[in-house]
Structure 1
């Protein structure tokens, strides 16, 4: 079964790898149903929307070498399976929307990042 599914992933930001705990990409198509008056009494079509990409990730805070998350603008994030199977995915035009931090006694310190992206590619 383990050969069927993608396992761990590696996150690369502008050519540097970072330790991540979780990564949750979301794509919204923003398509809307067009409501018209017709005999069927239902929506008969849809209008194209503007696609949006939102990325939520939790990264471990390194002792040194942490990127300037607040200054993140027009970056490229690439995700690839650790074992080499599966496809690479890239998000370009990435910027920071929101940042938070978590500090606890049982786990390492982390940053919760919400990022926006202009484009998504499967390589």
Structure 2
């Protein structure tokens, strides 16, 4: 069995400044909606296309100095980089913050939990 290589680093850029990201959970909503019609079969007959949405749950470490105004983030870019040279990057553009939360643990560093939305997704 051959070894598999997986995606690696996650980088968020806010106003040209790189932010340390621990994790990103991405939910892509297709925008499709079920179309119900009155027919003799008693079931839906199809769907309508809609607008795609990208919801992001981001966990970032809180720096000791130079902390950002996390709630004011607009126009950020989140890129998931492959560690090898041959892979493609996946970027979420025009990201903005919806909710902000903080997390403190006994054994680890303080973390910032962000709910964000992105307007576009690009495979580079």
What's the CA shift for 1:3?
4.4
Do structure 1's residue 103 and structure 2's residue 101 form an aligned pair? no
2: distance between equivalents of 1:2 and 1:18? 34
The match for 1:80 is 81
Match of 2:6 in 1: 6
TM-score w.r.t. the length of structure 1 is: 0.85
Query: Could you tell me the TM-score, scaled by structure 2's length?
Result: 0.85
**Residue in structure 1 matched with residue 69 of structure 2 by the alignment:** 68
Pairwise CA RMSD: 2.0
Cα gap change, 1:121/1:34 in structure 2, threshold over 3 Å: closer, same or farther? same
Of 103-112 and 62-71, the range deviating more from structure 2: 62-71
Change (3 A) 1:65 1:85: farther
Q: Classify the secondary structure of the residue corresponding to 2:71.
A: helix
How many residues end up aligned between the 2 structures? 123
Structure 1: state its 5+ residue gaps. Answer: none
